[in-house]
Amino acid sequence: MVTMNLKLLTIVAEAVLEDRIVRDLRAAGVTGHTVTSAHGSGSRGVRAGSVGGGNVRIETVLRPALADQFLEVLAERYFPHYAVIAWTSDVSVLRGGKFA
Amino acid sequence: MVTMNLKLLTIVAEAVLEDRIVRDLRAAGVTGHTVTSAHGSGSRGVRAGSVGGGNVRIETVLRPALADQFLEVLAERYFPHYAVIAWTSDVSVLRGGKFA
Amino acid sequence: MVTMNLKLLTIVAEAVLEDRIVRDLRAAGVTGHTVTSAHGSGSRGVRAGSVGGGNVRIETVLRPALADQFLEVLAERYFPHYAVIAWTSDVSVLRGGKFA
């Protein structure tokens, strides 16, 4: 069985940002993602998204270099304005060749 | 405090496959799992499950050998036919003795 | 880009426990968390929460020492009475300074 060592990038943001973040992922070359609805609070207090609309948890598996690159995109475009948090972790992926 | 080093296996699939995958997990000896509803797109374009029914994100914590073994099951039974993706990561688990 | 090596703590519990666990997280100094609704079964059979109310999956990113400390809290206050499971994993976090 062939597995590849890739990165799992998880982004938690207000639900209204989902389309925009997914568009940015596509533009960066990321071809797959998974979204779950969430709620919660962040270090700025209750996230704006918690009142009306909630949060989304966006996950995508990608090459380490692209994960770092997309963290920069998030840091530039979202962090100054929105309660977005993001983290990466090491994953072993089956059928790794299909990931960006 | 006793923690055990185990594997977290995450499987994203069309929602219609949930029962079948959970049955396969049980048959492999996995005694616990967590399911969240999801949507998203994969490298084959929008996942079939995104239109009507959505996706599921199935998680389970298990011994490394069993994680590898179940990845093989997924590769054989699901990957040729369905837009299933799966990855494993290292986790430290409290009350580890209860996991398969 | 500055990333910090932190721990992702994931807790799966009956939905009725959400407020109590979040209160305990706050009391331990954890300032942010994300909750998704879930269902599933555990090693004690179908989780009580699966029938009416479901489960929650609570995630939070925190310093390693605090992650260990909170696992102890869970082990003491919840494990003897509830079908709670919890695990930690290594994550690289952007804007790490905001985490407890």
C70 neighbourhood in chain B, CB within 8 Å: none
A25-73 pLDDT per residue, tens: 999 999 899 999 999 987 654 444 444 569 999 999 999 999 999 999 9
CB within 8 Å: A33 and B39? no
Q: Categorize the per-residue pLDDT at A15 as very low, low, confident or very high, splitting at 50, 70 and 90.
A: very high
Contact predicate B57/B15, CB 8 Å? no
- Selecting from A42, A71, A89 the residue whose C-beta is nearest the C-beta of C8 gives A89
Contact predicate C22/C70, CB 8 Å? no
CB within 8 Å: C85 and B94? yes
pLDDT of the residue at A49: 43
| Residue B44 distance to chain C (closest CA, Å) | 26
pLDDT of the residue at C31: 85
Mean pLDDT of chain C: 87
| Assigned token pair, C31 | 């300032």
**Which one of A35, A44, A87 makes the best mutation probe of the C interface by having the most chain C beta carbons within 10 Å?**
A87
Q: Categorize the per-residue pLDDT at C99 as very low, low, confident or very high, splitting at 50, 70 and 90.
A: low
Buried b (16+ CB within 10 A) or exposed e, C58-94: bbbbbbeebbbebbeebbeebeeebbbbbbbbbbbbb
CA-based nearest residue in chain C for residue A68: C1
CB within 8 Å: B85 and A92? no
Q: How far apart (Å, rounded) are the C-alpha atoms in residues C88 and C66? A: 11
- Selecting from A37, A75, A88 the residue whose C-beta is nearest the C-beta of C36 gives A37
Q: Which phi and psi (to 5°) does residue A82 adopt?
A: -130, 155
Q: Which are the contacts of C90, defined by CB distance < 8 A and separation ≥ 6?
A: A89, A90, B90, C5, C7, C8
Q: Categorize the per-residue pLDDT at C35 as very low, low, confident or very high, splitting at 50, 70 and 90.
A: very high
B25-51 pLDDT per residue, tens: 999 999 899 999 999 987 654 454 444
pLDDT of the residue at B41: 85
CB within 8 Å: C61 and A90? no
Contact predicate A71/C1, CB 8 Å? yes
Work out the percent of chain B whose per-residue pLDDT is above 70: 82
- Interface predicted TM-score of the whole assembly (ipTM), two decimals: 0.87
- Selecting from B35, B94, B98 the residue whose C-beta is nearest the C-beta of C39 gives B35
CB within 8 Å: A42 and C32? yes
Q: Which phi and psi (to 5°) does residue B55 adopt?
A: -115, 165
pLDDT of the residue at B80: 87
Rounded to two decimals, what is the model's pTM?
Answer: 0.90
* Cα–chain center distance at A53: 18
Q: How many CB pairs under 8 A join A and C?
A: 61
The set of chains that have 3 or more CB pairs under 8 A with B is A, C
CB within 8 Å: C38 and B36? yes
pLDDT of the residue at C41: 84
CB within 8 Å: A35 and B36? no
Ranges of chain B with pLDDT below 50 = 45-46, 48-51
C43-89 pLDDT per residue, tens: 654 454 444 569 999 999 999 999 999 999 999 999 888 989 999 99
pLDDT of the residue at C49: 43
Q: How far apart (Å, rounded) are the C-alpha atoms in residues A31 and A25? A: 8
